[in-house]
Structure 1
Amino acid sequence: MSQFKPRRPATGAAIAVLAIALTACGGPGGSQDEGAATLTFGVQAPPNSLDPAQLHDGTQRYVWGSLYDTLIYSDNEGELQPAAAESWEYSEDARTLTLRLRDDMTFSDGDPVTSEAVRVTLERTRDTAGPQQNNLGAIESVDTPDEHTVVLNLSEPDPNLLVALAFGSGVIGDPDTIDDESTALNPVGSGPYVLNREETVDGSTYVLERRDDHWNADAYPFETVTVRAIQDRTALFNALLTGELDAGTVDETQAGQVERAGFTLQRVDGISVGQIVIADRAGEVVPALADVRVRQAINLAFDRQGIIDAIFLGLGQPTTQIFNTLSPAFVEELNGEYEYAPDRARELLAEAGYPDGFTLTMPANLFVQQVQPTITQALADIGITVEWEPVPAQQSGQTTNWGMYFNLGAVAPPSRTVALYFEESGSQNPFGTTDPELDGLLEDLAAETDPEAANGIYREINAFAVENAWSAPIFLQSTNWATRDGVEYVGTANALFDIRVFALSR
C-alpha cells in the first residue's frame, strides 16, 4: 500500500515561540498594534464565484482558499502536506484512496467538519458542470465509515487526484448551506478566514477576517486581509505608491520607483506560462488547425526572446514547453525546437494548402491584453489574420467557440498539468482531442507507481506535445512582488496563490 503520514508535529514550546515572534513583529509598515497585523494587496481579477463547484484555481484562490480548507495542501516547494486530511493511503491497485480527517475542525458557523461534509462536497463538484468537475471524474463513489474517515472508490487509477485535492477540487463546503444561492457570494467554509460582507464589494474588494478558532490559525499572522481586484496595472502601481496597498506585482519599468519608495522587491521566475493553446486539433471550428504543419508554423511565428525584451523588459524566459524549469517534466533540449523562423512558417502553411493564409477568431480577455498586438502582428507576418472577440476578464477560452486561445496559466505539478491539457476531459482540452500515442502514455502513467518512472513518462508527454504542436508556448513569466516594510513575500514558482505566501518580516 502507498501511505502518507504527517511528520511529527511541532512541540507546544516551538509553537509558542512562533506565535511570540509573529506578534512582536507588529503589522505592515510597523504601524499595527501587536496581534492585529493587517495586509492589503492587489490582484488583477476577482473570483467569478465562491461556490465550491465553480472555483477557479490561480489568483482567485487568494480569496476562496482563505474561506475553505482543502483536504491536502501543496507547500512552497510543491510537496503535498496534510491539511484537512491528516493522513491518506492508497490501496495496492490505486483504486481506493482512504483519507483520515482531523477531528478538531469546525465550519465558520460552529458546526463540526465531518466525513459527510466531504462526501457531499466531492460528489456535488463531480456532478456539477464547472472548472473542477473533470478533476474528480474517476471517483465512482464516496464512503464514510465514520465521522473522520473518507474512502474514495475510483473507476481507474488517477495520478492527478491527490494534487487535485490540494486545489479547488479538494475544498470542503458546509452540507447544510452548500446549495443556497448565498454560497456563491458568502459561503460557510472551514477555512482560516471569513468574509466580512459589510466591507466587501463583490468584484472589487474582499475583506477577510481571521478565525482564531481555526485549527491552523498560527499559520496566518494577519488578522485582517483585504484583497483588491485592480485590472489596470498602472492603477495597481499607483495604489502601491499612495499607500493603499501593502503588496502587489510590478513590471520592470516600475521596479526602481517602488524600491525608492521603500518597498522590497522579490523576483519569482517561472511562475506562469504564457501560451497559445491550439485546441481545435481536429479542425472542427478552424479546419487549418487539423494539420500539424499549420500548428508548427504558428510556433515558428514568435520571436520569443524579442517579446520578453520588448514587452516584459527581460522579465521572463522564452519557452516552447508548458512545464517550467523546476518541473521534473521539463526537457531542456525541447526549447530549441521552434526558433523564430517566419519564412519557414510560411513554407509550412503553403505545404499544408494555405499559401494565402487564413483567418480565425480568438477571445480577448484581460490576460491577453499585454501581448494581443504582438500575437496579431506575429501571426499576420506569416499570413494568419486574427480577429479578436471580447470576453469577460475571468473567462479564458476553454470552450469550443474558438480554435485557439491565449492562456496565462499558473505553473502546476506535472500530474495536474497533464490532467488539464492532455486528458480527454481536461479543461484546457475543450475539444477532447485524443491520440493513440498519447493515450498509451497516459495509460502507462496511470499504472505507474514509481515516482521516477512517472517523471520519465511526463517528459515523454512533454516531447509529444512539443512535436505535435498542441500549443504554442511563448514565455515563462517572472513576477516582481513589491512589499511594504513589515511584509515579506515568501512564495516560489511552485507555491499556490495562498495567503501563506505573505509573512511578517523579521
Structure 2
Amino acid sequence: MRKPTVLFGTVAIGAVVLSGCSAGEGVDVDGGGGDNVLVAAIAGEPDQLDPHKTTSYFSFQVLENVFDTLVEPDENLEMQPALAESWDLSDDQLTWTFHLRDGVTFHDGSDFTADDVVYSYDRIIDDELSNAWRFSAVSDVKKVDDLTVDITVSQPTPNLLSSIGGFKGMAIVDKDNVESGDITTKPVGTGPFKVASYTSGDSIKLTANEDYWGGAPKIDGVTFRFISEGSTAISALKSGEVDWTDSIPAQQVKGLKGADGVTVDVAASNDYWYLALNEAREPWNDVRVRQAIAYGIDRDAIVQATSYGTATANQLAIPEDSVWYTPYDKYSTDLDKAKQLLDEAGVGDLSIDMLVTQDYPETVTAAQIIADNLKPLGITLDIRTVDFATWLDEQNTGNFDMLMMGWLGNIDPDDFYYAQHHTGAASNAQKYSNAEVDKLLDAGRTETDESARKQLYADAATIIADEASYIYLYNPSVIQAWSSDLKGYEARSDGAIRFRDVSMG
C-alpha cells in the first residue's frame, strides 16, 4: 500500500509492532552523515525495518535503499542483475542457478556469500513469513559454492525472477543481525545506504555506503522524515526544508506543479485499491450481498474525491497499460440491481463495520462516499478509523465487515491475485474460496506460454470480480515531488524509492 502492501506488495498481512525505541529516543548506529544529505518526507512511520516481516510501504521506502535482492526490476519492470550478476535455467526448467557478485560486503564489513542467500530464503520459507507463498514451487535452495546458488523448483516457474526481485521483502539479510534482534531497528544490508539512527516518531537517518558494490552514492546520506500531513510536507518542500516527498494530497498536485524550484511527477502505476467484505461473517458470505455492494457504489465519485482525476477507475486489479490487462465492466452503479440482489438474499437494514486508517486518508474519504452510496439500499456504514498498525491487526484477526486498502509494487500477474484470492493464501483476509479460481491460479504459476498464461489469469480475474472477492475501485498514480536541486531521480511505476544514483545541487 508495495504505501501499505501490502502496501509493496503489498499492504497486507503480519505487521509486527515496532519495539526497541520509544518516542523521541534515538538509536545510534555509526554516525549521522555529512552536509550533502537528501531530506525525504514520507507519509508515515515504518512499523519496523526487518524486510522479511514488515508489510508496510513506509518501511519499504526506507529499505529500498538499505537492502538488495538477487535481481531487481528496471524502469520497465524487467528483471536485471543485482546481487546475482547472472543466472541460468536448466533445460527442464526446474533448476535456476544464480552466479553471485564477488567482493560484496554487508554494512558491518562481513562478506556476502551464497550462505546468506540460503539463510535468507530458508528463513522466509521455514518461518512461514508473509512472503513464503512466493516460494510455493521451490523445493530446495542450495549452496553450490561461495558464489553460486541453485534454486530447485517442483514445476516450471515463469515468475520466479519477479518473485525474488520484485520488492525488498525478498532482501538478502545478515544472519547475525537477525539473530541479535537488531534487524527491526538497526538493519544491516548490502545496499547503497546504511542506517545511522532511528528516532521513533520523527525520522530515520541513512549514511552513504562507500563500499557499495554498485559504486558509492553521490550524496552523503538520506534522512527520512515522517510527515503524515500532506500540506505540511508540501510547505516543507517549497521552503527547502525537505528535498523530496510523496506525502501529497491529490487536490494539491495542480497547484504544486506551478511552484518555483519544484518538480512534480505523476506516473501510471501497477497498484490498485479495493474493498473486501469478510466472508467468514454473515451475510457477506452470500455472493449476492457482495455483488449488491459492488453495484451500489459509485467508483467515479470515489476516484474523483480520492485522487482528483489522477487515478483511473478499474473493476479489476491490473491497469489498462499492462500486457496482462483484461477488460471488465460488469459493475456500473445500479441501485435497482443492488436492491434486487439484496431481496433475493433475503437481507435488509444492514450495518457494515468498515475498517479504514487515517494513515491512508483516501480510505477515510472513500468511506464517506460509500456511506452515502449505500444509504438508499438500507445499509448503514459504521466507519471505524484506526492507525495503520491497528488496521493490520484487525485485518489479520478478521475483526471487520469491510475494509479498504491497496496493493502496491505488483509486477507479475501472480502478484495481483494468488496471495489475495487463493484458498487459505497468506493475504486472503476476506476468506474467499473457489476451487476453479484455485485451479486457474495454480496453472498460471507453471504455464510458460505467455498467451496461454494471460488467458488463465483473465479467467481467474473475471471470476474473482464476478464473485466480489475484492470489489476493485481504481488504479492510482504514483505522485511524487522534489526540489529542482535533486538530480537523477525518476518516479517509478512500482513505487520503489531509489536514491542511490541521485545528486544534489
So what's the TM-score if we normalise by structure 2?
Answer: 0.84
* SS of equivalent residue, structure 2 residue 365: coil
Deviations 1:176-235 (A, max 9, x none): 2221121110012111110112xx3134311111112111126x4433112122122222
8 Å CA contact 2:262, 2:483 repeated in 1: yes
Instruction: Give 2:202's match in structure 1, choosing from 204, 221, 227.
Output: 204
| 2:179 equivalent in structure 1 | 179
Q: Give me the CA root mean square deviation.
A: 2.6
Q: Aligned-pair distance for 1:83?
A: 0.7
Do the aligned partners of 2:141 and 2:151 also contact (CA within 8 Å) in 1? yes
- Aligned position for 1:88: 87
Aligned to 2:331: 338
SS of the equivalent of 1:42 reads strand
Q: After TM superposition, give the deviation of residue 425 of structure 1 in Å.
A: 4.6
Q: Distance in 1 between matches of 2:501 and 2:250?
A: 21
Q: Residue type matched to 2:404 in 1?
A: F
Letter in 2 for 1:206: I
Equivalent of 1:356 in 349, 356, 364: 349
Which 10-residue stretch deviates more, 386-395 or 107-116? 386-395
Q: Who is 1:378 aligned against?
A: 373
**Residues 348-497 of structure 1: pairs in structure 2 closer than 5 A:** 348-367=341-360, 368-394=363-389, 395-396=391-392, 397-413=395-411, 414-430=413-429, 432-487=431-486, 489-493=489-493, 495-497=494-496
What is the 5 A alignment of 1:82-231?
82-166=81-165, 167-197=167-197, 200-217=198-215, 220-231=217-228
Could you tell me how far apart the structure 2 residues matched to 1:109 and 1:502 are? 22
Contact 2:298 2:370 in 1 (8 A): no
Shift, 1:324, TM fit: 1.3
**In structure 2, C-alpha distance between the alignment counterparts of 1:153 and 1:401, rounded to whole Å:** 39
Note the alpha carbon deviations across 1:340-391, whole angstroms, 9 max, x for none: 1223212211111113334445354522233232233323332333334444
| Deviation readout 1:38-82 (Å, 9 max, x if unpaired) | 322222122212124313263422211211111110111111111
How far is the alpha carbon of 1:257 from its aligned partner? 4.2
Partner residue, 1:24:
none
SS of the counterpart of 1:53? coil
Query: Structure 1 residues 310 and 422, CA, compared in 2 at 3 Å: closer, same or farther?
Result: closer
* Residue 8 (structure 1) aligns with: none
Query: 2:199 aligns to what SS in structure 1?
Result: coil
Distance, in Å, in 1 between the alignment partners of 2:372 and 2:297 is 10
The runs of 5 or more residues in structure 2 that have no matched partner are 1-33
The one-letter code sitting in structure 2 at the alignment partner of 1:351 is E
The whole-number CA distance in structure 2 between the counterparts of 1:432 and 1:116 is 37
- The answer to whether the Cα contact below 8 Å between 1:59 and 1:497 also exists between their aligned partners in 2 is no
- What secondary structure sits across from 2:294 in the alignment? helix
Q: Distance in 2 between matches of 1:130 and 1:446?
A: 20
Deviation per CA, 1:397-442, whole angstroms, max 9, x where unpaired? 3442234321122151122222332333533312553322212212
Task: Confirm or deny: 8 A CA contact 1:66 1:499 kept in the other structure.
Answer: yes
Change (3 A) 1:171 1:479: closer
Aligned residue pairs total 462
SS in 2 for 1:60: helix
8 Å Cα contact 1:277/1:472 also seen in 2 = yes
Q: For residues 9-60 of structure 1, what are the alpha-carbon distances to aligned partners after superposition, in whole Å with 9 as ceiling and x for unaligned?
A: xxxxxxxxxxxxxxxxxxxxxxxxxx97432222212221212431326342
Equivalent-residue separation in structure 2 for 1:82 and 1:388 (angstroms):
45
| Paired residue type of 1:472 | I
Query: What is the deviation of 1:499?
Result: 1.4
8 Å CA contact retained: 1:398, 1:427: no
**TM-score (normalised: structure 1):** 0.84
What is the identity, as a one-letter code, of the residue corresponding to 1:435?
N
What secondary structure does 1:405 align onto?
strand
Letter in 1 for 2:323: P
Contact 1:134 1:426 survives alignment (8 Å)? yes
Q: Deviations over 1:214-262 (max 9, x none)?
A: 11126x4433112122122222222223322112233354235432343
Conserved in 2, the CA contact under 8 Å of 1:52 and 1:125?
no
Conserved? CA contact 1:346–1:355, under 8 Å: no
Letter in 1 for 2:203: T
Worse-superposed segment, 167-176 or 315-324: 167-176
Residue matched to 2:237: 240
